[in-house]
Each structure stands twice: as structure tokens, then as C-alpha cells.
């Protein structure tokens, strides 16, 4: 996935959310505009939300790794009944740098990562037949 960090705005980019000056089409923008995580229907038909996770690892050059966790909600919405996650998607010299890469993902990219994580989980699951 490549991202343009030049600050230029695409002519077909949606306008900023009212009163915020920021678009909610990226993961970070959505969090800031709506003050909650976006929700998705996964490829398995189940409801998911998303969180950005950052953890420190034993690496001198890139000690911070970030990945996405997708909590799966009960269909009633009452509680979390499972989750899927991505492998490490970004690294950085500090937690902020590792987080910013994931916050720049578009919601379309996040949805594709969710569906890939579901497919990986299903492929790794023991065969029930």
C-alpha cells in the first residue's frame, strides 16, 4: 500500500466533515471526527470494529510495531465474542510514527485488511469435516 504524505488533497476527495476541517475517509480521520472506531461487516457476515495497536519489540532500528485488531461483536451488539488481527503492518522509531502509518489507511484499505484477516483465520482453522 502506498500513501501520499505530501499533504496534497485529491480533487475527488470528499469534503471534510462539518465543523472539523478533517475528512473521515481515513482510519485516523474517522476516529477524530466521530470519536469512535468505524464498524464493518466482515466477509463472514459478522460485525467488527477496529483498533490500532502498537507494541514495543526487541529491535534497535524499529522498536515499535503496529497492527490492527478487529473485535467481532455479538450480532446483538451487546459484547465482543472474538477477534481477528493483522500481522505487523508498520514499524517505527517511536510509537507515534508506527501508529500514524495505520491511521493514514483509508477505510477501504482497512476493510480489505479485515477480510484478509478473516480469510487467514478460516484457512488456519482446523477442518470441521
Q: Is residue 10 part of a domain?
A: no
94 lies in some domain = yes
User: pTM to 2 decimals?
Assistant: 0.80
Indicate whether 51 belongs to any domain: yes
Q: Is residue 129 part of a domain?
A: no
In degrees and rounded to multiples of 5, residue 39 shows phi and psi of -115, 145
Residue 106 covered by a domain: yes
**Could you give the C-alpha distances from 121 to 72, 91, 104, 113, 115, in angstroms and in order?**
13, 23, 25, 12, 10
Query: What pLDDT, on a 0 to 100 scale, did the predictor assign at position 44?
Result: 96
Domain count, the chain: 1
Domain that holds residue 49: 27-32+39-122
| Contact between 90 and 12 (Cβ < 8 Å) | no
Q: What pLDDT is attached to residue 25?
A: 96
| Residue 61 maps to a domain | yes
- What pLDDT is attached to residue 19? 52
**Phi and psi, residue 71, nearest 5°:** -65, 135
At residue 72's C-alpha, the angle toward residues 42 and 94, to 5°, is 95
Q: For residue range 66-115, what is the model confidence (pLDDT) as tens digits?
A: 999 999 999 887 899 999 999 999 999 999 999 999 999 999 999 999 99
C-alpha 97/C-alpha 122 separation (Å) is 31
60-69: average pLDDT: 94
pLDDT tens column, 25-56:
999 999 999 999 999 999 999 999 999 999 99
What's residue 12's pLDDT?
A: 53
Query: Which CA distances in Å does 11 have to 28, 34, 61, 64?
Result: 20, 23, 37, 34
Amino acid at each position: 500500500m502506498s500513501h501520499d504524505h505530501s499533504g496534497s488533497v485529491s480533487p475527488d476527495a470528499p469534503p471534510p466533515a462539518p465543523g472539523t476541517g478533517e475528512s473521515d475517509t481515513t482510519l485516523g480521520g474517522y476516529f477524530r471526527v466521530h470519536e469512535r472506531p468505524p464498524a464493518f461487516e466482515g466477509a463472514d457476515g459478522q460485525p467488527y470494529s477496529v483498533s490500532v495497536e502498537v507494541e514495543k519489540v526487541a529491535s534497535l532500528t524499529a522498536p515499535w510495531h503496529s497492527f490492527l485488531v478487529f473485535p467481532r461483536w455479538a450480532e446483538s451488539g451487546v459484547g465482543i465474542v472474538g477477534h481477528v488481527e493483522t500481522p505487523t503492518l508498520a514499524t517505527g522509531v517511536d510509537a507515534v510514527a508506527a501508529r500514524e502509518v495505520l491511521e493514514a489507511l483509508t477505510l477501504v484499505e482497512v476493510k480489505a485488511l479485515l477480510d484478509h484477516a478473516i480469510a487467514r483465520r478460516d484457512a488456519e482453522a482446523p477442518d470441521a469435516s
